[in-house]
Structure 1
Amino acid sequence: MVRQFEIAGEPRSAEPFGKGLIHRSYLIRLDTGARFLLQRINTRVFSRPVELMENIDRVTGHLSRMAAETGGQALQLVSATGGGSWSVDDEGTYWRLYHYIDKTRTVEQIESAEQCFTVARAFGDFQRLLTSLPPPRLHDTIPGFHDTPSRIAALDRAIAADAAGRVRPAGAEIDFVEARLPLARVLLDRGMPERVTHNDTKINNVLLDARTGNPVCVIDLDTVMPGLAVYDFGDMVRTATCPAAEDEQDLSKVHARFDHFEALARGYLAGAGGFLTGEEKLSLTAAGKLITFEQGVRFLTDYLSGDTYYPVSRPTHNLDRTRTQFRLLESIEAQERLMVQVVRSLT
């Protein structure tokens, strides 16, 4: 497959790379010493791979041109020999090849509030740079991804079907959702503009300089599509403020660290603040609540449906994930007034 792309040299080795669960990735070394990242695209998750690659091609091209002007770096696709930025093998599998960015690293967990600032600024910068992406509108790679009312409707269907006989043990969690139904529309009714958003703003999707720890570029662009800018901030709150794992069973360990929230807000506004409207800035805390709630609803729906989407290692795995999200949401709610105050002080 590597030979189906325009490379200067001969491939000499390929080894599995990274911890991603969606695509199969390989680090490729050529006889010239050059390195590339080859990926087999998971078309079960991304059922429209051509639209996916058209998005990534446009975004990486735009960011690469802007990086060239400033001396920065950005992800770059390698063109396929037959044209375009992807290749299809004899079995109909889609592949892509990226230039490997040397002297960088990723981390799996936030290590400090300072790191929260760094990562949030990187994602804020990413959004800001893409405000100048020329038309047309990007494709929706996962339609309805942050359509929380539709997620609630899917949960209602799972409750009614009770396919796995799990409604009774999840009674408390179902009641938790019912008590917070108005939260599903907390952002949709604020009249915020559509932006280009990343939609997977975990720290491991920022390449860091291996020596300084400074951000080099944002990676994993599969879910880059139109959305509300604050969705990205909300997902940072969900993934960066909690010290516990997403499937932690000891809920006493689950809480939102206020200093991490404050650092996220400072970093994000430092990167994106120039283009955000006043309503977008004042919606940051609500976004943290919404995305945490929405992810809990998704885990709960999968648990009730018999674990058909998320990989599990125990019967209650998705229920444990649900409880973690809902406990985190309670912690955000308890600190909401202070979080709103700190955002107002920054804006």
Structure 2
Amino acid sequence: MAEVREELDWLLSVEDEACRLTDLFEKGELPLRVTHNDTKINNVLFDEKTHEALVVIDLDTVMPGLVGHDFGDAIRFAANFVEEDCDHPEKAGVNLNIFWAFAEGFLKKTAASLTKTEVDTLALSCFALTCELATRFLADYIVGDKYFKVKKPQHNLVRTRCQIALAKDMLNKMDAMNAIVQDCARRYKETENA
């Protein structure tokens, strides 16, 4: 355990903030929605010629969940400067240009149907899902890599460290992420009401 003490301590230090979505759901402040729960770009099939999205696949993960689960996991996966198993966690971080583009597209289609609390917690959901994956990777590493496929020794520990670095960067950029979400939501709610 000494090998992962720093990672454990940091994850425990942010537990309250990382679990805030669950707390809000338990208080009845976030509704359940139908969610995909594995919103990665490799779960979308595209037309070879037009590059238009054709269909979402990997539907075995679809179930009731929070809208932030889909938004947050998509950002965690797609907006990191590096792959989730990069050996150089110091290079990890959220690319605000990709965050903005995803928020723009997501809210263009959903802003009218989301509650204020759902919108207000979208940026937080990215941090929460990143911490969740860091915790899952770390737990799997501790028990001997039973769940996630690994390609090298300490693969899950490398993933953990990369996710923690990403989560730390998200905390530093949370004000900017919230501002982007609020701007997109406001514009698309106004468009819907016009």
Q: Is TM more than 0.5 here?
A: yes
Please list, as runs of the form range in 1=range in 2, the aligned pairs for 1:1-347 lying within 5 A after superposition: 167-190=1-24, 191-347=29-185
Give the Cα separation in 2 of the matches to 1:172 and 1:185.
Answer: 20
Letter of the structure 1 residue corresponding to residue 4 of structure 2: A
Partner SS for 1:274: coil
Q: Which is strand-richer, 1 or 2? A: 1
Q: Relative contact order (alpha carbons < 8 A, sep ≥ 6): 1 or 2 greater?
A: 2
Structure 1 length normalisation: TM-score? 0.51
Offset at 1:300? 0.4
Q: Deviations over 1:165-217 (max 9, x none)?
A: xx111111011112111024211233111110000000011111211211112
Instruction: Provide the rounded CA distance (Å) in 2 between the counterparts of 1:289 and 1:184.
Output: 7
Alpha-carbon offset, residue 280 of structure 1: 0.7
Q: For residue 272 of structure 1, report the CA deviation from its aligned partner.
A: 1.8
| Amino acid aligned to 2:66 | L
> By percentage of residues, which structure has more helix?
2
Which residue in 2 is equivalent to 1:44? Answer: none
CA displacement at 1:243 relative to structure 2 = 2.7
SS of match in other structure, 2:55: strand
- Tell me the distance in 2 between the aligned counterparts of 1:212 and 1:179: 46
Aligned to 1:160: none
Q: CA deviation at 1:313?
A: 2.4
Q: SS of the counterpart of 2:61?
A: coil
Partner of 1:14: none
Unaligned stretches of 5+ in structure 2? 186-194
Could you report, residue by residue, the CA deviation over 1:27-74 in whole angstroms, capped at 9, with x for unpaired residues?
xxxxxxxxxxxxxxxxxxxxxxxxxxxxxxxxxxxxxxxxxxxxxxxx
1:292 alignment partner AA: T
Structure with bigger gyration radius:
1
Which residue number in structure 2 is paired with residue 108 of structure 1?
none
Q: Identity, % of aligned pairs? A: 40
Determine helix, strand or coil for the equivalent of 1:279: helix
Post-superposition Cα deviations, 1:230-254, rounded to whole Å, max 9, x if no partner, equal 1100001100101311111112321
* CA–CA distance in structure 2, aligned partners of residues 272 and 213 of structure 1: 22
Counterpart residue type for residue 135 of structure 2? V
SS in 2 for 1:207: strand
| Residues 108 and 184 in structure 2, CA contact (< 8 A), matched pair in contact too | no
Gaps of 5+ in 1: 1-166
Distance 2:110 2:47 in 1: 21
In the TM superposition, structure 1's runs of 4+ consecutive aligned residues that sit over 2 Å from their partners are none
One-letter code of the match for 1:188?
T
Distance 1:221 1:201 in 2: 10
RMSD: 1.1
Letter of the structure 1 residue corresponding to residue 89 of structure 2:
L
Q: Secondary structure at the match of 2:60?
A: coil
Partner of 1:99 in structure 2?
A: none
Corresponding residue pairs, total = 181
Distance 1:189 1:171 in 2: 26
- In structure 2, distance between residues paired with 1:175 and 1:222: 34
